Amino acid sequence: MGSITAPVAVPRPDPVTPMPDGRAPRPSTVTLKVTMAVSGTVFALYVLVHMIGNLKVYTGAEHFDDYAHWLRTLAEPLLPYEGALWIFRAVLLLALAAHVGASLVLIVRARRAKGAFRRTGMGWRRVPATLMPYTGLVLLVFIVVHVLDLTTGTRPIAPSGFTAPTQDTSHAYANLVESFQRWPMALFYIAVMLMLALHLVHGLWTLATDFGVTGRRTRQVWALVALVFAVVVMVGDISIPIAVLAGWVS
């Protein structure tokens, strides 16, 4: 009898890993970065103008109150009372929503891409970038506190002597002084301005990358501009609570 040949085992094919569908995530990372760059520029210009306006406190109560009242009556009678101010607030709110939304999506994507690996060897230069989510969160909290303190006069955030503005008068000077005479609020404001400076330094620096600037000399100059801008805003804003606590503004 002939020998019986054992059946040959046919190897099972390895599971096939599904190929990616090739579709890019929406919105694209480039779109998100440009959104953050544009909205960040809006906020950078706002904090600069806001700081310049706040420095009018050194001109005395009458001038500062006149400036605050002028903001509420800007473009009258074309716009109603506080009409221009509400337009500014709406633009800032939209920019804030776009900035925060884009940043959250980018953070999630970055963490998924890096997985368990973390970038090392960057030293102190990496500190502002690493702290961006945290300084951003602190700034969000500050915006709420600042509005409750000096805009709506909501207790217990606002001082007990807060006086709301009317269509004829403003009490911005007295409200600001009374708020910063409380040393916890003054220290909180100073600490947040330090956070703002860190946020501005890295945020303005990334504008060069987001807008496609590649020249080494241009990037160096822009880094210096970002640093000077952040320091000017920080020093100008911090000087006010210090002046109130020292009794120079009262």
Q: What are the DSSP calls for 187-208, one per residue?
A: HHHHHHHHHHHHHHHHHHHHHH
CATH 1.20.1300.10 fits 29-162+169-246, yes or no: yes
pLDDT at 111: 80
| Helix pair 183-210, 172-180: axis angle to 10 deg | 100
pLDDT at 81: 94
Any idea how long the chain is? 250
Q: In the chain, which residue ranges form alpha helices assigned H by DSSP?
A: 29-54, 61-73, 83-114, 127-150, 172-180, 183-210, 216-246
pLDDT at 12: 60
pLDDT at 209: 77
CA 172 to CA 66: how far, in whole Å? 9
131, 201 Cβ separation under 8 angstroms? no
CA 83 to CA 151: how far, in whole Å? 15
88: left (phi over 0), alpha (psi -120 to 50) or beta: alpha
User: What ranges do the domains of the chain cover?
Assistant: 29-162+169-246
- Spell out a b/e string for 185-196, using b for 16 or more CB atoms within 10 Å of the CB, else e: bbebbbebbebb
Which of 157, 103, 111 has the alpha carbon at shortest distance from 134? 103
Exposure on the CB side of residue 214, measured as CA atoms within 13 A = 1
pLDDT at 213: 75
pLDDT at 157: 95
pLDDT at 125: 60
Is the bond preceding 20 in cis, omega lying within 30 degrees of 0? no
Which of 178, 171, 153, 165 has the alpha carbon at shortest distance from 65? 171
The segments of the chain whose pLDDT lies below 50 read: 1
